[in-house]
Chains A and B, each alone.
Chain A
Amino acid sequence: MKMRKMLSILLALAMVIGCLAACGKKAEETPAPAPEKQTEQQPETKDETPAPEPAADETPAPAAEDTTPGSTPRNETLYFNGQQWGAINAWNPIHSNANNFGISQNSSAREILYETLFMYNLLDGKLYPLLGTKYSWNDDKSELTVELNQAAHWDDGTPVTAADVVGTYEFNHTYSPSFPGGWDPYITGVEAKDDYTVVIKMAQTNGVTNNPLQGLQYIAQQYVMCKAYLDKVVERNGGDQAKVQDDLMEDFVASGPYKKYYNDDQKVIFVRDDNYWGADASMWGSLPVPKYLGHNLFADNAAGNLAFSNGEVDVSQQFNIDIPQMMETNPNISAFIDEAPYNMCVTMPTAWLKLDVPGLDQKAVRQAIAYAVDYDQIVSAAMGGQCPTFTAVPRSVMNPTDGEQALIDKEALKPYQFAGNDIDRANKVLDEAGILDTDGDGYRELNGTKIHLQAACPTGWSDWEASMEIVAAAGKKIGIEIETYYPEASTYMSDMLTTGQFEICMWSPSGASPTCPWGRVRALMSSEFAGITSNNWSGNFGWFRNDRADELIQAIPTMEDSQLKAAYTELSQIYLDEVPSFSLMYRPELFHNTNESVWSGFPALGDGDNIPPTDCTDGYGIAALYNLYLVQ
């Protein structure tokens, strides 16, 4: 009897569990890998500090019928995903981990809260005026003169002047620990010529400017901050560098079109500054359309993608393998481009090989792995076909944009290029190098020891994980044992990638910026980064050293345009022959998919607006905010 009772209890339990499992179907639909934060390429430390509560006077007056804090009318709010994971830590652009969706100083800087002098447009590679109206070089390119827009003012009403630009440079130079290392080799100072003109002094060697492109990069990337406010911040922290860097700047003064409105560990809302200077006819001539910019904090990629497909997110910056299928079935979803690759692929996630690891120190092994990997499979299985294949755009150091492809001699590269899944060629290279399977276990040995490699990428970055599995499968085919390893993203970045403690790892060199393709080639091959054992975010993670490559990288910034093609072609030849790393796919730097159930008017390729697909927030992409309109 007891057993029967037990059995009935067990059966009841089983039924309950069964029901739960059935209800758990949703959980099934929202698999839980950690979010894909691929585009936010900055060290990500999970800071548990709770988000600062909004000051009492800033707490929004919620809509009459809705009393949830921070709630805003749907038809006045543009929602994002994939830009903010976890609560905001700080509003300070030099904070070590601000984790703030409004702050991103990349080549396409985020222009929501703070603004740069110029906006970069990755579609045409040009700079568009923002706080600065025009820039000009002197004859030897030692000075970059920028004129400021006299209409620009801070959100406290005071004008943006040359003193602010100079003050920001000095503030960054003194208080941002990474600033001098990054900029001093190229920029020696910023001076005010008059109230609305600044001169950026470029660093020179033997009378030749080190790299004029870095001057353009500077005016597109560095935010201009209010000098009066910075002085206040410095004063309240007693001028202590660490304290200034850690200042949360909750009372920040900026010039951008949006201001802080509400943020907690559930969502972030910015509100439009109706007094924004850009409404002046000399700039946009109007205010951006959405009154609020909202970002709900999703648990992971899948949750964000689900919200996107349901129309709760308007602009999605997440990798979504289902985009092609969603575009077929959901009448509201579109991407920047109608058909594959759907977005502008400007970067190349790359498998970096650590060159001092036994096995990878052999050119034959590096080449063999690179030849054997099935890149088409990566494109179709990992990227869902959302990028061109290496057959369509044969590999080099260039991204697939026409501008960069024009800088190489494609015929000259043909003998060096490889399209992948070429097992015979890989085996031949290994056999010729004498790296053979001598003990018959199916794996090749080098000097008597089995070659065993570990391929790593951050856990939960599902498409990257799939790519690494395909690399491992290629290894199996050519008798090189490759195991995969997926540590937490923060561990991966701090302990492996940036310290050189890995065998094979995955990361993207810079995609589109004023300094590219030079910046990318430098990141791929320049020996100036070889041997750095901590915090190397610049590139050459595998410590490749090649004198000829260094020479060319050094020479390119000051080369005549006519010589560039030869130099880049030679660099591509070295890169493809030596295989210090190999690109696994082409990929957008930002994903830009839209659900037009509420808002429409987003940029699309060929619509004549020339607005880049940078999520309506980055670089010249912010121009999209002025074209939006409500569907209903």
Chain B
Amino acid sequence: MKNTINQAFHSPKFVFGFVIFAIMLCLAILVPAFSKADPLAMQAAACYRPGTYFSIADAIEAKKYNLKMDIKSHRFDKTLTQEDKDSMVEWLVKFGNVEESEIPADAEEFVVFWINNYKDIKIKGLTNAKKQYYRKLTAKLSAMLKTSDIVIAGEDPDTGELIEENKIEFNSFTNVNDVTVRKTFLLGTDNFGRDEFIELCHAVGTSLKMGLLAGTIATIIGLILGLLSGYLGGIVDDIIVFITNLFTVIPSFVLIILISFSVDQSARGVLLVGIIIGATSWTWTTRSVRSQVISLRNRDHVNMSKLSGHSLIRIVFEDILPYIASYVVMAFILQISSAILAEAQLSMLGLGPATTKVATLGLMMNWAMSAQTPLAGQWWAFLPVIVSIALVAFSLNLMNTGLDQVFNPQLRD
């Protein structure tokens, strides 16, 4: 046993797969363990991009610093694009009765010139979208020109009068660390405003749990039926092969959909979905175990056991199982991987566990799609999920091929 494990860890493929798997597993275990946050708590109002968010109200109260920095020109450089400039010039020449030569070149003068000349009037030949663009641009530019202090006022609850509470100088700064109320979303938030990173870690954990459960169930059923069928032969073999064939021709995913659909959503938890997937995906384990057992059952040592009067169970478990154990382990790994994918597919169709109860990779994909996040370019809502599914499945498959090389001498380099 120790030797086999040693050997396995000498296979670079296995090690690579194992490392990826271990990282995913650690994330799935450690993050929920250390962060007590509810992964389903809707913390933000909508799908926000990754980053650190700090309270503006808090920033107003935070310690002020004075930096020697030309804020105004910095703003102009950052916000006024060439495209904006071109369209402003276009408007001025077309509708503002301005000669192109009159327009000043200096950015600030140009903006002042624009604000003096731009009028929000009804113009035939200017689309609503353009009008709206100019309105917004003008509002933005006039805000940029301002260098006066900003007064923060509060409303008197009785009279409704505004009372000055705070004044912020035009050029005051604050150190980000001085703002105490902050929240970092490593991977942004999903369409419900839930912390994507925390949710993802929980979802990977859920998927692994479900995969492990489904894989175990599928492997146990497949192994028992395969062993019985291969070793006993005769009528038992016929019956088991018949049932196996029956399940093989019906696509298991269709079965999964039908069974899930017939179960009430409230009952469709992680456990049940795992059982459903496991109970429908054992067929190819049975078939391959059976064929392996058939090749083993007439070996000399098995016949010796038979002659010695050993019981069926003892023969199967002591004389046959050890020979196919390595194969079963590999099949088990693949079962886990395909069960994880099956859950993702099932949840994408809305037939997985309930959204409000548990986070799963498939549900996250489902909501990312129905909220049109790809169309809006909100990559953080779906890309990390796809990568996670891919990494888990990829690492399991790598481990499988690595083991294959160890156990199968023909494959060794």
Q: Using a CB–CB distance below 8 Å, which chain A residues touch chain B? A: 1-4, 7, 25, 28-33, 302, 305-306, 309, 320-322, 325, 327, 330-334, 338, 374, 376-377, 380-381, 384-385, 452, 459-460, 462, 465-466, 469-470, 472-473, 475-476, 481-486, 594, 596, 600, 602, 604, 607-608, 629, 631
Q: Measured between alpha carbons, how far is A483 from B376 in the docked complex, in Å? A: 29
Contact A3/B404 with A305-B375, A380-B45, A484-B354 known, Cβ cut-off 8 Å:
yes
Nearest CB of chain B from residue A146's CB, rounded to whole Å: 35
Q: Are B129 and A331 in contact (CB under 8 A)?
A: yes
Render B347-369 as a binary contact track against A, CB cut-off 8 A, 1 for contact.
00010001110000000000101
Chain B residues positioned under 8 Å from A3 (CB to CB): 404, 408, 410-411
Chain A residues positioned under 8 Å from B132 (CB to CB): 327, 334, 338
Q: Are A596 and B127 in contact (CB under 8 A)?
A: yes
Nearest CB of chain A from residue B250's CB, rounded to whole Å: 22
The listed residue with most A CB atoms (<10 A of its CB), out of B126, B129, B130, B132, is B129
**Residue among A1, A377, A594 making CB contact with B42, cutoff 8 Å:** A377
Q: Are A608 and B122 in contact (CB under 8 A)?
A: yes
Q: Are A466 and B408 in contact (CB under 8 A)?
A: no
Say if the beta carbon of B382 comes within 8 Å of chain A.
yes
Chain A residues positioned under 8 Å from B124 (CB to CB): 629
**Number of B residues whose C-beta is below 8 Å from A?**
42
Q: Are A483 and B354 in contact (CB under 8 A)?
A: yes
Nearest CB of chain A from residue B269's CB, rounded to whole Å: 11
Chain B residues positioned under 8 Å from A485 (CB to CB): 265
Contact A33/B370 with A1-B410, A333-B129, A381-B193 known, Cβ cut-off 8 Å:
yes
For B383, give the chain A residue with the smallest CB separation: A28
Q: Measured between alpha carbons, how far is A359 from B372 in the docked complex, in Å? A: 36
Contact A31/B266 with A3-B411, A334-B129, A381-B46 known, Cβ cut-off 8 Å:
no
Q: Are A325 and B410 in contact (CB under 8 A)?
A: no
The listed residue with most A CB atoms (<10 A of its CB), out of B40, B124, B191, B193, is B191
Say if the beta carbon of B251 comes within 8 Å of chain A.
no
Chain A residues positioned under 8 Å from B45 (CB to CB): 376-377, 380-381
Top 8 closest pairs, chain A to chain B, by CB: A31-B369, A380-B45, A596-B127, A334-B129, A462-B370, A29-B374, A334-B128, A600-B127
Q: Are B122 and A470 in contact (CB under 8 A)?
A: no
Say if the beta carbon of B11 comes within 8 Å of chain A.
no
Q: Using a CB–CB distance below 8 Å, which chain B residues touch chain A? A: 40, 42, 45-47, 122, 124-133, 135-136, 191-193, 264-266, 350, 354-356, 367, 369-372, 374-376, 382, 401, 404, 408, 410-411
Nearest CB of chain B from residue A459's CB, rounded to whole Å: 7
Nearest CB of chain B from residue A14's CB, rounded to whole Å: 8
Q: Are B42 and A473 in contact (CB under 8 A)?
A: yes
Q: Measured between alpha carbons, how far is A370 from B127 in the docked complex, in Å? A: 43
Q: Are B128 and A602 in contact (CB under 8 A)?
A: yes
B interface majority secondary structure? loop
**Residue among A4, A330, A469 making CB contact with B356, cutoff 8 Å:** A469
Q: Measured between alpha carbons, how far is A485 from B369 in the docked complex, in Å? A: 18
Pick 17 A–B contacts, CB within 8 A, sort by A. Answer: A3-B408, A28-B369, A322-B376, A325-B376, A330-B129, A331-B133, A332-B129, A334-B128, A381-B46, A381-B47, A381-B193, A452-B266, A459-B350, A472-B354, A483-B265, A484-B355, A596-B127
Q: Are A302 and B354 in contact (CB under 8 A)?
A: no
Nearest CB of chain A from residue B390's CB, rounded to whole Å: 9
Contact A374/B42 with A381-B191, A607-B122 known, Cβ cut-off 8 Å:
yes
The listed residue with most A CB atoms (<10 A of its CB), out of B127, B131, B350, is B127
For B190, give the chain A residue with the smallest CB separation: A381
Q: Are A31 and B374 in contact (CB under 8 A)?
A: yes
Chain A residues positioned under 8 Å from B265 (CB to CB): 483-485
Nearest CB of chain A from residue B281's CB, rounded to whole Å: 18
Nearest CB of chain B from residue A124's CB, rounded to whole Å: 20
Nearest CB of chain B from residue A443's CB, rounded to whole Å: 11
The listed residue with most A CB atoms (<10 A of its CB), out of B266, B350, B375, is B375
Q: Measured between alpha carbons, how far is A306 from B266 in the docked complex, in Å? A: 35
Q: Measured between alpha carbons, how far is A321 from B401 in the docked complex, in Å? A: 44
